[in-house]
A and B are shown apart, each in its own frame.
Chain A
Amino acid sequence: MADEPKEPKPPQVPTGEKPASSTPPVSTHPAKPADANAPVAPPKAAAPAAPKPPVVLQTPLDNEIVKRFRAKFGGSLLEATEDRKQAILTVDRARLAEMAMHLRDEEKFDMLADLTAVDWPKREKRFDVVLDLYSFAKNERLRLKVHAADAEEVPSVVSVWPAANWQEREVFDMFGIIFSGHPDLKRILLPDEWQGYPLRKDYDILQQDTAWVRENLGIESGQ
């Protein structure tokens, strides 16, 4: 079982450019259906043997966007990486709103597709706030990340992308991260009076606000 993760790595080459490279194999397969199991296996085994056995999934990123970004914000760009061919910029929390404006207006990332957070309790700054941007003009995605410690505020991007409104409320609801400048930061999925933030790692899956459950549902436990 130890080598399980390595198994799927080989076909990394085809996944890179799905539309371009996946078409030919599909059309060739029906041509020789007799031993359909055979043709699929060899390319998989052959592909990884030559280039690099330990496939590196995370690589540093240095494209035009990053260059322009670095020229404008300098040291506030903490890290630019690529994970499985997806661009990730880790930036300074304090200048997030300013950077968001830059990315929307200069780089044409006009849609905020997704905004969420990840909790890493062992880290000094435990939260990652993650924004997934999309540009209609370039058909490109970009992930923006900021680190925040408990009780540290993250600048809201609602004024840049109104789509952030409910998503920031959800992150506040689930992680307790405060977004400064949000027009109406309150819980969205959980009841307003709920205590605790369920998606933090130290919140057990069976944990609940028993006082709230007792008072509002009239039962001892919601389990």
Chain B
Amino acid sequence: MKAGSEAILTVKGTTLSIGTTNDHKTLLGADELVINMGPQHPSTHGVLRVKLKLDGERVIGSECVIGYLHRGVEKIAENRTYQQFAPYVDRMDYVAAVSSGLGYCEAVEKLLVAEAPPRARVIRTILTELQRIASHLLWLGTHALDIGALTPLFYCFREREEILKIFEKYCGARLTTHAFRIGGLQYEAYDTLEKDVERFCKDFESRIAEYEALLTQNRIWIGRTKGVGILTAADAIAFGVTGPVLRASGVKWDIRKAAPYAAYDQYKFEIPVGTTGDTYDRYLVRMEEMRQSRLICLQAIENIPSGPIMAKVGKVLKPPPGEVYHAIEAPKGEIGYYIVSDGTVMPYRVHIRPPSFINLQAFDRMVRGHLVADVVAIIGTIDIVLGEVDR
């Protein structure tokens, strides 16, 4: 792509479209510097390219260049039937495929004016909450690794592996699971699902304590995260930021509570919120979210209703003409599906509102005034997956 052919180091004169600060007086009277970070950089979590405008070591402006992983998912959707498109959404946020899949299935169900049976909804909830834990674990491991703490990565992957094993036992796949179907589930829960989930949840409590022992009171960790990348509640709302990033800024909002879907209305859980909206708060919020997800799983396996796992939606889906927007709380924030039906077997239009893409917009606001080393911490703390940013 064009990006590769551009100079890596450019002296003043390169235009930055987001917030050009030409009137900025550098600290030592030296020239401003524009450097390129990514798209091939280990801590950008994929193919994110960031143009950074620097005054010495301090960031005074930034611009994200995205699209390296664009696959035209929305165009593909218009050329597939409703069921055929379902596996594609797994390839957006590939570390939380179950959540994306749930959003899509529920959106189409809403369009069909159908609803999954209670048993399917509870099993969906269990798998989605496990996915949230898995996604947060991956985030924690890589985020800590970016900042320089190598150990948590191994611990996190150890537990994530257990979750992926449950997925594998359930549907045969570990990452791009395609676990749910429009109208319910294709597979019955396997015999020991409850036992496996219970065992994982039992172990997991002490495991979170292990991560916290490594990081929460760690002086280096606090030094690298406290006060870094502050996002105020007003800014977060203005930028449309959702998920843990919004909650860390002090906004107590979670779609699982605001507009319950699947079976969330049956379970008790808390929404953790932060106070300052810095990287450390976002860390604490996600840690607590894992605990709450664990509690939801434990409540759900207590009582999985019996009954069918699939609603009667038919083999050929022709939703009545109209449109629907359905959003769920994915691990990274609100994932929304806007689907327009013209009454045929293929959607007329599918638009996906990816949380990573929208949250990344606030990056520039968070990074200004910080050091180059903090950029890595801030990219990590937003928790983006480039497959979802670029779609």
Q: Which residue of A lies closest to B76 (CB)?
A: A205
The answer, yes or no, to whether A186 is at the interface (CB within 8 Å) is yes
Q: Is B351 a contact partner of A114 (Cβ separation < 8 A)?
A: yes
Q: A8-B113, A8-B314, A184-B18 are in contact. Are A30 and B336 (CB under 8 A)?
A: no
Q: Is B114 a contact partner of A11 (Cβ separation < 8 A)?
A: yes
Distance, CA A112 to CA B263, complexed state (A): 27
Which one, B113, B117, B265, B390, contacts A15 given CB within 8 A?
B113
The answer, yes or no, to whether B199 is at the interface (CB within 8 Å) is no
Minimum CB–CB distance from B69 to chain A (whole Å) comes to 9
Distance, CA A174 to CA B390, complexed state (A): 13
B390 contacts which chain A residues (CB < 8 A)? 189
Interface size for A (C-beta < 8 A) is: 67
Give the interface SS of chain A, mostly helix, strand, loop or mixed.
mixed
Contact with B along A185-200 (1 / 0, CB 8 A): 0111111110000110
Which one, A23, A30, A136, A187, contacts B237 given CB within 8 A?
A136
The answer, yes or no, to whether B157 is at the interface (CB within 8 Å) is no
List residues of B (114-158) whose CB comes within 8 Å of A's CBs.
114-115, 117-119, 121-122
The answer, yes or no, to whether A163 is at the interface (CB within 8 Å) is yes
Q: Is A132 a contact partner of B265 (Cβ separation < 8 A)?
A: no
Q: Which residue of A lies closest to B265 (CB)?
A: A19
B340 contacts which chain A residues (CB < 8 A)? 118
The answer, yes or no, to whether A162 is at the interface (CB within 8 Å) is yes
The answer, yes or no, to whether A78 is at the interface (CB within 8 Å) is no
The answer, yes or no, to whether A73 is at the interface (CB within 8 Å) is no
Q: Is B322 a contact partner of A57 (Cβ separation < 8 A)?
A: yes
Stretch at the interface among A32-40, A64-72, A90-98, A146-154: A32-40
The answer, yes or no, to whether B307 is at the interface (CB within 8 Å) is yes
Q: Is A139 a contact partner of B258 (Cβ separation < 8 A)?
A: yes
Q: Is B239 a contact partner of A163 (Cβ separation < 8 A)?
A: yes
The answer, yes or no, to whether A126 is at the interface (CB within 8 Å) is no
Stretch at the interface among B160-168, B220-228, B286-294, B323-331: B323-331
Q: Is B260 a contact partner of A216 (Cβ separation < 8 A)?
A: no
A193 contacts which chain B residues (CB < 8 A)? 2
Q: A9-B113, A118-B348, A136-B251 are in contact. Are A83 and B323 (CB under 8 A)?
A: yes
The answer, yes or no, to whether A102 is at the interface (CB within 8 Å) is no
A130 contacts which chain B residues (CB < 8 A)? 338, 351
Q: A8-B312, A29-B305, A166-B357 are in contact. Are A118 and B317 (CB under 8 A)?
A: no
B353 contacts which chain A residues (CB < 8 A)? 113-114, 116, 132
Q: Is B311 a contact partner of A8 (Cβ separation < 8 A)?
A: yes
Distance, CA A118 to CA B340, complexed state (A): 9
Q: Is A5 a contact partner of B320 (Cβ separation < 8 A)?
A: yes
B215 contacts which chain A residues (CB < 8 A)? none
Which one, A1, A18, A25, A205, contacts B79 given CB within 8 A?
A205
Q: Is B319 a contact partner of A5 (Cβ separation < 8 A)?
A: yes
Q: Is A163 a contact partner of B238 (Cβ separation < 8 A)?
A: yes
A22 contacts which chain B residues (CB < 8 A)? 115, 118, 265
A44 contacts which chain B residues (CB < 8 A)? 312
Which one, B121, B317, B318, B361, contacts A166 given CB within 8 A?
B361
Q: Is A40 a contact partner of B361 (Cβ separation < 8 A)?
A: no
Distance, CA A33 to CA B312, complexed state (A): 19
The answer, yes or no, to whether A110 is at the interface (CB within 8 Å) is yes
Minimum CB–CB distance from A138 to chain B (whole Å) comes to 11
Which one, A37, A58, A161, A166, contacts B238 given CB within 8 A?
A161
The answer, yes or no, to whether B206 is at the interface (CB within 8 Å) is no
Minimum CB–CB distance from B185 to chain A (whole Å) comes to 14
B237 contacts which chain A residues (CB < 8 A)? 110-111, 136
Distance, CA A83 to CA B319, complexed state (A): 13
The answer, yes or no, to whether B303 is at the interface (CB within 8 Å) is yes
List residues of A (1-47) whose CB comes within 8 Å of B's CBs.
1, 4-5, 7-9, 11-12, 14-15, 18-19, 22-23, 25-26, 29-30, 33, 36-37, 39-40, 44
Distance, CA A191 to CA B113, complexed state (A): 39
Q: Is A189 a contact partner of B17 (Cβ separation < 8 A)?
A: no
Minimum CB–CB distance from B92 to chain A (whole Å) comes to 13
Q: Is A1 a contact partner of B336 (Cβ separation < 8 A)?
A: no
Q: Is B312 a contact partner of A36 (Cβ separation < 8 A)?
A: no
Listed residue (B261, B265, B351) with the most chain A CB atoms within 10 angstroms of its CB: B351
Distance, CA A36 to CA B306, complexed state (A): 6
B266 contacts which chain A residues (CB < 8 A)? 23, 26
Q: Is B115 a contact partner of A14 (Cβ separation < 8 A)?
A: yes
A25-B118, A83-B323, A116-B351 are known; give 20 further A-B pairs, CB within 8 A.
Answer: A5-B319, A11-B311, A26-B121, A26-B266, A29-B307, A36-B308, A57-B320, A114-B353, A132-B338, A143-B325, A187-B67, A188-B67, A189-B66, A189-B67, A191-B67, A192-B2, A199-B75, A203-B75, A205-B75, A205-B76
What are 6 A-B contacts with C-beta separation under 8 Å? Answer: A8-B313, A22-B265, A29-B305, A86-B325, A113-B327, A114-B325
List chain A positions with a Cβ less than 8 A from chain B: 1, 4-5, 7-9, 11-12, 14-15, 18-19, 22-23, 25-26, 29-30, 33, 36-37, 39-40, 44, 55, 57-58, 83-84, 86, 88, 110-114, 116, 118-119, 130, 132, 136, 139, 141, 143, 161-163, 165-167, 174, 183-184, 186-193, 198-199, 203, 205, 216
